[in-house]
Structure 1
Amino acid sequence: AWRPRSARGEGAPAHGGDAVPQPAARRGRRPAAPGRADGAGGRLLPADPLRRALRGQQQRQPQPGQQQRQQRGGGGPQPRGGGLRVAARSAAEAAAHERSDPGAADHHQGQIRLVVEEGLNQLPYTECTVTTPTGYKYEGVKFEKGNCGVSIMRSGEAMEQGLRDCCRSIRIGKILIQSDEETQRAKVYYAKFPPDIYRRKVLLMYPILSTGNTVIEAVKVLIEHGVQPSVIILLSLFSTPHGAKSIIQEFPEITILTTEVHPVAPTHFGQKYFGTD
């Protein structure tokens, strides 16, 4: 049977004899004790039962994750409606996570960058001499002053980053146009342009060109602000033959840049890019 150290003396052998100090005690180290006092009655517990007691106490205490789940409604009676609100929020967050597709957004940004760069190539430029930090002079080109971008909200805002990556200081205007549910006619709800837009070349950004009614209405608003159709370049990722034809018939001087022309238009581009219904 196991006996506490106090019964046979500190550092004494189990069979009796003179107490011999342990080497660890001589060097100032605390000797390893097989048990600890519980503090209530001075009783000593052996090491193994002490570990089992501590292990059982830890198992009885709820873990942080379990405590959080219990507070959310999994560990006891909860008010009616509290758990329901949390469940609805979790379902909404999961649905939003499934709708968001970073890979698709990166792919679209690559296509947007190609269209934006080609649109910038259509703008007028002049030759200039660039002096490098090492003093070397290089003959290059620069854009003439008076360029700006206009995005048709909301899908047109997806192309703003591609334009900013190429021209950081370019001015960008916005215009909000929505189609009436009954008449299917485009209606302008908001328009904000640079004050001197009538002096600038305009890069009109609208990714999906379906019927062309939205773009036609946007060009009319730009004309009301003094912009000529000949200085407007429409940047689009996808266009239908009917949409492109209707715009050209209305404004023959406008320039349209797109990556594909197909009869079926992917109207879900804005929802897919921004991750919404």
Structure 2
Amino acid sequence: MSSESHPEAPSQSVGPEYQPATQKPKATVSTVIPQSNVTILPQTSQLIALLTMIRDKNTGRADFIFYSNRIIRLLVEEGLNHLPTVEHSITTPVGQTYSGVKFEGKICGVSIMRAGESMEEGLRNCCRSVRIGKILIQRDEETSKPKLYYDKLPEDIADRWVMLLDPMLATGGSALMAVDVLKSRGVPEDHILFLNLIASPEGAKNFAERFPKLRVVTAFVDQGLDEKNYIVPGLGDFGDRFYTM
């Protein structure tokens, strides 16, 4: 897809609901896609401000890490909302009964190396002592297709709910292969949640249709892919900006 064929980016007023539209700034917001198993974070002024910071080419590495971590925390919190719970009543310190819930089942994170490792801290901050697995997938230079080079996963991963971590979803090749790896280890498709910061419409659509029982949680769906399959407007190479630049 060439840059000239990208649809116009959607724009809307962002800010608290109680403010009139005339008092809210206009901003580019996420593209809406029809796949029901894709959840896009609410396009709040806070989220758009954080995304603006990490998209800016002039944002230094320290600020890029700080603001990325804030978005990752929002993604993990939303991901946890999709895990199953059961009724659980407790007694408060004043002797009253409170009818609540608790999570059902164990979870783990699996990062697609290397950029996905940037999301591990956000998961650990929300889930104490969470197990983390890793998958390394790179493009084969001869075939231009993704190739599995390494994986290290918890032995009991088939009995866990898996949060698959990768900040960018472009064509989806690496993420699709990662899900195939998880399924080959016995993880049910509907026990996988894929968390990412920015997706392309093409990647999100392909991913959601290939695995209809899996849920994708993303902060933003961008306009599309350019002729080099880079997400536009995007933010550049996430791993480079997080780890080296």
TM-score by length of 2: 0.68
Question: Once superposed, what is the RMSD of the aligned Cα atoms?
Answer: 2.0
Aligned pair 1:160/2:120, yes or no? Answer: yes
Aligned pair 1:250/2:219, yes or no? Answer: no
Greater share of residues in helix: 1
Aligned pair 1:211/2:171, yes or no? Answer: yes
Residue identity matched to 1:260: F
Matches within 5 A, 1:125-204: 125-131=85-91, 138-204=98-164
Which whole-Å deviations, capped at 9, do the CAs of 1:47-84 have from their partners, x for residues lacking one? xxxxxxxxxxxxxxxxxxxxxxxxxxxxxxxxxxxxxx
Q: Is the 8 A contact 2:109 2:133 kept in 1?
A: yes
RCO higher in 1 or 2 (8 Å CA, sep ≥ 6)?
2
Matched with 2:237 is 268
What is the aligned-residue identity percentage? 48
Matches within 5 A, 1:1-277: 101-131=61-91, 138-262=98-222, 263=224, 264=232, 265-276=234-245
Q: Is the 8 A contact 1:207 1:235 kept in 2?
A: yes
Q: Is the 8 A contact 1:241 1:261 kept in 2?
A: yes
> Aligned equivalents of 1:134 and 1:173: distance in 2?
42
> Aligned equivalents of 1:109 and 1:217: distance in 2?
26
Which whole-Å deviations, capped at 9, do the CAs of 1:6-50 have from their partners, x for residues lacking one? xxxxxxxxxxxxxxxxxxxxxxxxxxxxxxxxxxxxxxxxxxxxx
Pairwise CA distance, 1:138: 4.0
Q: Residue 89 of structure 2 aligns to a residue in which SS?
A: strand
Residue identity matched to 1:170: V
Q: Residue 238 of structure 1 aligns to a residue in which SS?
A: strand
Q: Is the 8 A contact 2:105 2:161 kept in 1?
A: no
Residue identity matched to 2:215: T
Residue identity matched to 1:232: I
Pairwise CA distance, 1:147: 1.5
Residue identity matched to 1:271: D
Greater Rg over alpha carbons, structure: 1
Pairwise CA distance, 1:102: 1.4
> Aligned equivalents of 2:141 and 2:72: distance in 1?
29
Pairwise CA distance, 1:134: 6.9
For structure 2, the 5+ residue unaligned runs are 1-57, 225-231
Which whole-Å deviations, capped at 9, do the CAs of 1:114-167 have from their partners, x for residues lacking one? 110000000001222345567665443221122211111111111111111110
Pairwise CA distance, 1:182: 3.3
Greater share of residues in strand: 2
**Cα 1:253–1:145 shift into 2, 3 Å:** closer
Q: Is the 8 A contact 1:99 1:272 kept in 2?
A: no
For structure 1, the 5+ residue unaligned runs are 1-97
Aligned length in residues: 179
